[in-house]
Structure 1
């Protein structure tokens, strides 16, 4: 353990020095040979390598308290710091143009080598979108794909939850240090992911949730995965950044289509116009990724695909009529009354029953949409 920590120290010094991102980090390694040799190069050589005075000063007199804090963090059960020289560093991430020199991992680092599907989407999804993400993740996680996302509100959380509910693994790539959970309401979810997968960050312990960290971590989400599935995304969405990065990295990109009236579906439709693969079922994803991850994909009844039987057929005629008047886009009660010809009292009563049975979900502004 002492030798391992000593070998980590030069990497941590470079990592914590100001103005050293992945590109500068690797140019220094290429120039001098190793992090240890960078630190022993001397001020003149470091200046000749193009480093700023502030950076040279930090390398000559590193923040020892911060380095010791990092090393102490790594002594906790389940805590790991992987350098690019570590054999446990995920192979898919090594192929990036700018892989993080260090990865902080809490959980099982071996799961980072498992076939992963990244799932991303809106932080404010519709109820149907949230359910779609959960069901896709539950099924795909149960078939052996590790579900990777960013621990954010909305589709990210639903994807992690679905994978865990299906008995699969999940990986969360976060934009803070691993000594904190953001958003705080996902603390229990983060702990569950660490027990059945891993939390991953390129940021040192103590790093707060700075806005610039989240777009930056998206390249790791897509880089760890063999493909990215987008479930609900507005046109101006961080999820589209992840999809673009995935294309640049040579990963497969999938998108779930939605209603033309749903603003949260427009980003997915944009991706589809740009060549993303349209998926309607989890089986569609498995058929595309089967060869990449070594699956023998079948479409038989034992595949675990959610049942295609229509539960609406068991409803009374008037309840079916109300459902037919509600789209998958938000629909107002007044619109349902107008379309169905039923009284407002009857419609409100039936909507309550349908919501309790899971056929519809209430959305903002007193509207409803179908969930199945």
Structure 2
């Protein structure tokens, strides 16, 4: 890539890559021009004033542009078959991190949401970066869980980092910027288009050591991420759901085809080769134990298990200890504790 080296030495890596990035041809063609020293055919015209101004503006907005040639570009992402030319990052991004992606359907069940959130928090507390796509459903739950923990989370967007989609997740995006990063291969003000979401999925898996699928119907977009993960040599874990649930059919198909069943969150810790933290022991009174065993592990209306109103303080105590979770409408469920 002699031509590229000459250009970057003269005008700067970020300026050159930004100009190439904006050329309206496919990413694969751009790589072809770069690798085969045909940049002269792109007519870059040698004027990079506009790119310098744009980079200066991005910096003021707290956006960093990391090119493929920069030291900050993750080594794990360089090795995938179709790496991004560069990444626009808003937030705190570390080159060296251990990442696991959590993906699944936007229309998840309360079961799927609970699993994704708990898994996100578990990984975060073990200093594993949780990676997902900021979509509704499983993605959002995974990010929220990670934010509850002590680690970081990265949201890979199918739009620019200034164009949050879905818009209702702007608040979540702001929280991620403070405890992780929004990441995109598209310029900051790029709107979301349908084809960009499958494209970003290769980055989700590319930044990860493993991909966990929580809930996914047969034709879920999460299965596109799995395809990229297999192509990239990543390990795929699947969390089974109810047998008749359409939301879990895609997951069950993955298990049938050879994906690893995630029986316990610690399976991931063992796979990644890190030491599991000791869990805090939850101390329950005999009265609390008796009520806990009557509460189902699926969302259930309170009157179905709490016949005596005098037991309400015990229910509240169980919730405070984190072994019971409440939902709107006086709905409760028992959760697994560690």
Of 294, 304, 319, 2:279 maps to 304
How many pairs are equivalent? 317
Bigger mean CA deviation after superposition, 23-32 or 212-221: 23-32
Bigger mean CA deviation after superposition, 232-241 or 68-77: 68-77
Name the structure where helix makes up a greater proportion of residues. Answer: 1
Within-5 A mapping of 1:279-358: 279-290=262-273, 295=274, 297-298=275-276, 303-304=278-279, 313-315=289-291, 320=294, 328=298, 347=304, 358=324
Structure 1 residue 103: Cα displacement: 0.8
Of 69, 83, 89, 2:67 maps to 83
Structure 2: stretches of 5+ with no match in the other structure? 1-8
What secondary structure is seen at the aligned counterpart in 2 of 1:109? coil
Structure 1 residue 347: Cα displacement: 4.3
What secondary structure is seen at the aligned counterpart in 2 of 1:303? coil
Match of 2:148 in 1: 165
Match of 1:119 in 2: 102
Match of 1:130 in 2: 113
Tell me how far apart the structure 2 counterparts of residues 305 and 277 of structure 1 sit (CA, whole Å): 28
Matched, 1:108 2:92: yes
Once the two structures are superposed, what CA deviation does each residue of 1:132-168 show, in whole Å capped at 9, x if it has no partner?
1111111111011110111111111111111111111
Q: Would you say the 8 A contact 1:70–1:204 is kept in 2? A: no
Bigger mean CA deviation after superposition, 175-184 or 83-92: 175-184
Of 11, 19, 22, 2:17 maps to 11
Once the two structures are superposed, what CA deviation does each residue of 1:57-77 show, in whole Å capped at 9, x if it has no partner?
7x4598975x35631343226
Q: Would you say the 8 A contact 1:128–1:370 is kept in 2? A: no
Structure 1: stretches of 5+ with no match in the other structure? 47-55, 334-344
Match of 1:338 in 2: none
Tell me how far apart the structure 1 counterparts of residues 52 and 76 of structure 2 sit (CA, whole Å): 30
Once the two structures are superposed, what CA deviation does each residue of 1:232-253 show, in whole Å capped at 9, x if it has no partner?
1111111111112111101111
Structure 1 residue 316: Cα displacement: 8.5
Tell me how far apart the structure 2 counterparts of residues 308 and 288 of structure 1 sit (CA, whole Å): 30
CA change 1:348–1:140 in 2 (3 A) is closer
Structure 1 residue 276: Cα displacement: 1.1
CA change 1:266–1:305 in 2 (3 A) is farther
Tell me how far apart the structure 2 counterparts of residues 370 and 61 of structure 1 sit (CA, whole Å): 63
The two structures, once aligned, show a CA RMSD in angstroms of: 3.5
Instruction: Give the TM-score normalised by structure 2.
Output: 0.81
